[in-house]
Amino acid sequence: MADEKVLNVAVVSAERELWSGTAKSLVAKTPEGDIGILPGHEPVLALLVESPLRIEETDGSKLVVAVHGGFFSVAGNDVNVITEVAELAEDIDVERAKAALARAQDLGIDDPDGLGAIRRAEARIQSASIAKGVSAR
């Protein structure tokens, strides 16, 4: 019998499964804003925007993943996060992300590629900052 007090979470990118395990909670960002998921949540299918995905594991540790679009679904206590590109915050090279942000800002927000690159770089920097317990701003 499955434990009804935990979430079964899988985070998958186009390249690989980044993480799977049990969690107490998950916070994701949709176009409408942040959504928190706890065990027993109503079914959901939602788009994700470039942002940190925050997972509180059952042992109390925190996991942060920089996601770059995609979607997630909640069915029962199963949460599946499907994203084209995602990175564990602990694997992010912050200096490289800051350099990418500067290059993207040079392109400007009027350039669709520039705007997307800005959002991706900001999500990476924010995710790494959250994982270190430091505010991104």
Mean pLDDT of the region 122-133: 90
Q: Does 29 share its domain with 82?
A: yes
For residue 102, what are the domain limits?
93-131
Q: What is the 3-state secondary structure (H, E, C) of the chain?
A: CCCCCCEEEEEEECCCEEEEEEEEEEEEEECCEEEEECCCCCCEEEECCCEEEEEEECCCCEEEEEEECCEEEEECCEEEEEECEEEEHHHCCHHHHHHHHHHHHHHCCCCHHHHHHHHHHHHHHHHHHHHCCCCCC
pLDDT one-digit tens code per residue, 42-94: 999 999 999 999 999 999 999 999 999 999 999 999 999 999 899 999 999 99
pTM (2 d.p.): 0.84
> Does residue 104 form part of some domain?
yes
Domains held by the chain: number = 2
> Does residue 137 form part of some domain?
no
Which pLDDT belongs to residue 17?
A: 95
Q: Does 26 share its domain with 84?
A: yes
Q: Which of 1-15, 57-71, 108-122 has the highest mean pLDDT?
A: 57-71
pLDDT one-digit tens code per residue, 10-50: 999 988 999 999 999 999 999 999 999 999 999 999 999 99
